[in-house]
Structure 1
Amino acid sequence: MYKEYPANKEALKNPDTSYSFTVMRPGGNDTALVMGVIRSGAMRKEINDVLLGIYKNVEQVGFVNLDPISPELMMAGGEFCGNATRSTAWLVLDGHPGEVNIKVSGVKGKLRAGVTPNGEAFAQMPIYADTSRITKDGDNRIVEMEGITQYINFNTKEIEGLSLDEIKQKAMALIRAKNLDRFPAAGVMYSKKEGSNWRIMPIVYVKEVDTLFAETACGSGTTALGLVLAQQKGESIKDVPIVQPTDLPIKVSVKFDGISFGYAQISGPVEKLVEGTLIQKEEFPYVVEQVTHPKDLESALGKGGLTSLYKDIFAEAPYFESFTDAAVNGFFEDYRRDGILLLASNRDGVIGFGAAVPLKSVPDIAEKMGIPPEYRGNRWYIADLGVKREFRRRDIGKKLTTDTIRGIQALGGKVVDLRTSVNNVIALSLYRQLGFMPIPGVTQEVTGERISGVPKTDTRMFLSKNL
């Protein structure tokens, strides 16, 4: 039996481990790339399931070695993926023009991939020269490629009016009927010509991780259609745009002399969405990521529950503070725009946050601490930290703080300052554990509206740490 969505697993089997990852968007086909190639298929599947459970937009997971001398991509199911290959090349080259040869799962030899002068990422596609690898099935075609086999279905009328789930079920039934599920990965590319352009609706099944996705973009499906178009035309094609479900095109080029195929390549824009770390702590997986895109923050504030989480945390002792949604959203937009904003999330939403801004951006705090303007340039201020009540005492606050400090160091910061309530015993214990020392004689009386509706004043103290 196949599962339409990843298994609902909440824990990796290896305790107290962490994995750095980057989420890329090649043509809309959001892909998580985990740093480090893991050979165990079972372990790859566990990480795959956790990341897909947390990031609902991510459709596939790969494991990468970004060494430019010997780069490698291993997909979670051992299949081949053209868009993940393009994304890996982009990361290896850090988005700069160039070319590398990448070892990719599902393919015997290395593939050329890189970044063009205009910033687009490209990847050689693993095709067979022999045209007999393309077989007719009525008006449709079955295209065998290394690592994946695609069924090019020109009969798009059969899916008109169907829901996405119904289309997926129909595609899976076709994959089984044609015995394509014997391959590591198989897809059905519903392909339709619209004017001078082609558009595809890709449904892809990956055997080892047992997933079925209606993909937002598909590089191998784009290539398979390109092979069929070149064969029908009887000659090579170059940079033919194939419109994906995202309405973004992926361009395909195929060399064909009328007898055999020579080379195939896909190209198009690639965007880095998220960098983060997957943490497994006491059989509890969560991710910590830095939020830089406005849309990601908007999603976290709303669907992710960040706004309500902030209000709930500061409504508790020792603060008992009350904030409007607009005020909270404004805080986080300032953090995202001016400083460092980290979020901790699990499959249910945001469970923690940490934020820091340059000290010069909060002059009232700097003045209270007695720091002259000329000494504020290399100092940062940890402005916020909070963890959902039921997830405390799992070192999430510590992880958010240490990652914030690393981010500050990467930006050249030399000193970190912060402020907390003199009654916040748990926070003070954490900060002292991390090397923060109280600034003697510096306190601040802060008055704010409480959940009771009555303004109240409490005492805050300042702490500092040299980096």
Structure 2
Amino acid sequence: MPVLTFSKWSPGGNTTLLFPDSGQHPAEQAWLAALALDPAMLGGEQAGFVQLAQGKLRMAGGEFCVNASRAVGAMLAYAAQNSSPEQGILNGFAADPTQLTSSAPPPCPVRIDEIQVSGWHSPVRLHTRGAAPLWQVEALLRLPACSITTVEEGAQLVRLPGICHLLLGGPAHPLPEDCYAAAAQLRQRHNLENEPAAGVIWWRECQGQLEMLPLVHVRDADTTFLENACGSGALALALRLSRSGTRRAFSIMQPGGSALEVRLFSENGAEMAGVDGLVALVARGKIWLPDPVPRTRPCRA
């Protein structure tokens, strides 16, 4: 029976499970995540594995995730503010708990960290403000050349490293009764089934407020969730809207009820994006996962 230390985070409502990366094979990580994400266990919308001392995050399907990256920013701040040996052992994220000091430093107005995240091509810089159990965390990303193509009326496909998003706006794409079935058909129609992660996002602007509803499928983890927030989806929508005008800052309301703030800017000649929003610590502890059920051969008459 696998036993894992975990912490559960809510970056804007996008509930994220983070586990220590203890060298599990990617297939094992995907299997463990699928078990833990079951509503009968911990539940959640996505999972990742962290080497906190090394500043590395690998999502269970090897995809890229902005919100999980922002959760790691909060985790790093929490670890610094609660750095007793006992806390390190409980969290399971300290590389060597004997190296930790027993006195916690006061919270800094802004904490700056840099991490490597699966799927993304360059380090992700994190600006974290606040203290447990609620932080404000901005993920700063160096943008590559992003492909944005119109694939049908009112629909654009935005390809980011480690994830792509199909954006559906306007009267041609009203919200369907069954989002899961509609998204599955759209992924198949536009040959997105083999992407590491593919989001289908319905969006609109109502009285000046942008709103989006994201449904994300992760191939290797074999998960599909109608998410309460999606950072990379918000970034994709901002990039698409910026192509048709001069707007460079966007406040995008998420289904969970809070907004993600996306800004596009230049830094030292590089195109950059910042995705900012709340991150809350929900729970932490240990989980006892069930052993896999052995496959049995069907009986023959």
Q: Same fold (TM over 0.5)?
A: yes
Secondary structure class of the residue paired with 2:63: coil
Q: Could you tell me the percent identity over the aligned residues? A: 27
Where does residue 227 of structure 1 map in the other structure?
A: 239
* Alignment check: 8 A CA contact 2:113 2:125 kept: yes
Q: Does 1:59 find its partner at 2:24?
A: no
Aligned pair in 2 of structure 1 residues 79, 276: CA closer, same or farther (>3 Å)? Answer: same
Q: How does 1:373-384 map to 2 (within 5 A)?
A: none
Tell me the CA shift for residue 158 of structure 1: 3.9
Alpha-carbon offset, residue 216 of structure 1:
0.9
Shift in Å at residue 22 of structure 1? 0.3
Query: Paired residue for 2:276?
Result: 267
Among 55, 60, 63, the alignment partner of 1:76 is: 60
Q: 1:252 aligns with which of 259, 262, 275?
A: 262
1:92 corresponds to which residue?
76
AA matched with 2:169: F
5+ residue gaps, structure 2, are 82-106, 294-301
Alpha-carbon offset, residue 277 of structure 1: 0.7
SS of equivalent residue, structure 2 residue 244: helix
* Higher normalized helix content (fraction of residues): 1
Pair 1:146 & 2:161 matched: yes
Is the 1:254–1:261 Cα contact (8 Å) retained in structure 2?
no
Q: Is the 8 A contact 1:181 1:207 kept in 2?
A: yes
Per the alignment, do residues 202 and 37 of structure 1 end up closer, same or farther by CA in structure 2, a change over 3 Å counting?
A: farther
Structure with higher Rg: it is 1
The aligned counterpart of 1:22 is: 7
Structure 1: which 5+ runs fail to align?
A: 1-14, 286-467
Q: Does 1:101 align with 2:85?
A: no
Equivalence for 2:98: none
Q: CA RMSD in A?
A: 2.5
Is the 8 Å Cα contact of residues 159 and 167 (structure 1) preserved in structure 2? no
- For 2:186, the equivalent position in structure 1 comes to 174
Q: What number of residue pairs does the alignment pair up?
A: 258
Which of 142, 149, 155 matches 1:135?
Answer: 149
Tell me the amino acid that sits aligned with residue 28 of structure 2.
M
What is the deviation of 1:246?
1.3
Q: CA deviation at 1:47?
A: 1.2
CA deviations on 1:403-434 (whole Å, 9 max, x unpaired) are xxxxxxxxxxxxxxxxxxxxxxxxxxxxxxxx
Letter in 1 for 2:8: V
Distance 1:264 1:77 in 2: 24
Equivalent-residue separation in structure 1 for 2:14 and 2:29 (angstroms): 20
Alpha-carbon distance change, 125 to 169 in structure 1, aligned in 2, over 3 angstroms? farther
Quickly say closer, same or farther: Cα 1:85–1:93, change in 2 above 3 A: same
Counterpart of 1:89 in structure 2: which amino acid? G
More relative contact order, 1 or 2 (CA 8 Å, 6+ apart): 2
For normalisation by structure 2, the TM-score amounts to: 0.78
CA distance in structure 2 between the aligned counterparts of 1:156 and 1:242, rounded to whole angstroms: 19
TM-score, normalised on structure 1? 0.52
Alpha-carbon distance in structure 2 between the residues aligned to 1:26 and 1:161: 26
Q: Which amino acid is 1:27 matched to?
A: G
Amino acid at match of 1:144: R
1:194 and 1:71 map into 2 onto residues whose CA distance is 39
